[in-house]
Amino acid sequence: MPHITVACLDMAGTTVADDGSVMAAFGAAMAASGIVPGGPGYGEADEIVRTTMGQSKIEVFRRILGSDDRAQQANSVFERSYAESVRAGMVNPLPGAVETITAMRAAGIKVCLATGFAPVTRDALLDALGWRPLIDLALSPADAGRGRPWPDLPLTALLRLHGGSVGELLVAGDTPSDVESGLRAGAGLVVGVTTGAATEEDLAAAGAPHILDSVTGLVQLLGIGAGSPR
């Protein structure tokens, strides 16, 4: 097992349970763009949304709508809808996520949470969860250049947190895009988890070297424990 100094963990579906809020926000954005269940283009749009989970939301809307102006409008609706879910208390930590992050930091691993959300939504989520003191860094595609499946988010985390080589980087997430991002970054440890959008088969097809039932499995995989520095 490689020596890990920086962990880049996904949020929704990996460390955060959103009770379907992401899909509901996509539905609201699509409806505001005139794409409704049973209507023209809905099936294709729904397929794109599901197969691009974990990627930059604005890029997903650009792909669906084919216009930057329409994509920006849809993204605004998405962000507002998701923010309402956050305020309503519909977004909570996945079981064991806080303890896992705490154990990582106790072991000397710096932790970045990465997401496809815009910074304003990401920050509202962190505030609602009270997670700012829990982590070392949080990144959105706007902070890194490109979102997943590109390697920009994990590589930016490694640079900003002054980690070592890419071999000392851990990337974990619940979508094929998370896995692809970690592999493209050359991360020493790339892990898929099955608590979110993708199945074990999906993650394996994306090339995930390790697949866990939840992020809590990282503690055993890394050989760490709460309060045990390496």
Q: What secondary structure does DSSP assign to 101-143, as a single string?
A: HHHHHHTT-EEEEE-SS-HHHHHHHHHHHT-GGG-SEEE-HHH
Write the CB contacts of 107 (distance below 8 Å, at least 6 apart in sequence): 222, 224, 225, 228, 229, 230
Contact 6, 169 (CB under 8 A): yes
What is the Cα Rg of the chain in Å? 17
Beta-carbon-side half-sphere exposure of residue 67 (alpha carbons within 13 Å): 6
Residue 227 has a pLDDT of: 43
- What's the CA gap between 149 and 55, in Å, rounded? 6
Residues of the chain with pLDDT > 90: what percent?
82
Q: For residue 185, name the pLDDT band (cuts at 50, 70, 90).
A: very high
Neighbours of 182 (CB within 10 A): 32
118 is written with which tokens? Answer: 């815009």
- Three-state secondary structure call for residue 149: coil
Tell me the average pLDDT across 38-52: 91
Rounded to two decimals, the pTM is 0.88
Are the beta carbons of 212 and 203 closer than 8 angstroms? no
Packing angle, helices 21-32 and 68-87, rounded to 10: 140
pLDDT of amino acid 53? 85
Measured between alpha carbons, how far is 180 from 157 in angstroms, rounded to an integer? 16
Task: Give the model's pLDDT for residue 162.
Answer: 95
- Region 203-217: mean pLDDT is 97
Half-sphere exposure of 104 (CA within 13 A, CB side): 30
| pLDDT for the residue 229 | 45
> Is it true that the peptide bond before 149 is cis, omega within 30 degrees of 0?
yes
pLDDT band, very low/low/confident/very high, at 197 (cuts 50, 70, 90): confident
Query: Token pair for residue 70?
Result: 């329409």
Does residue 35 have a pLDDT over 60?
Answer: yes
153: closest CA among 131, 178, 119?
A: 178
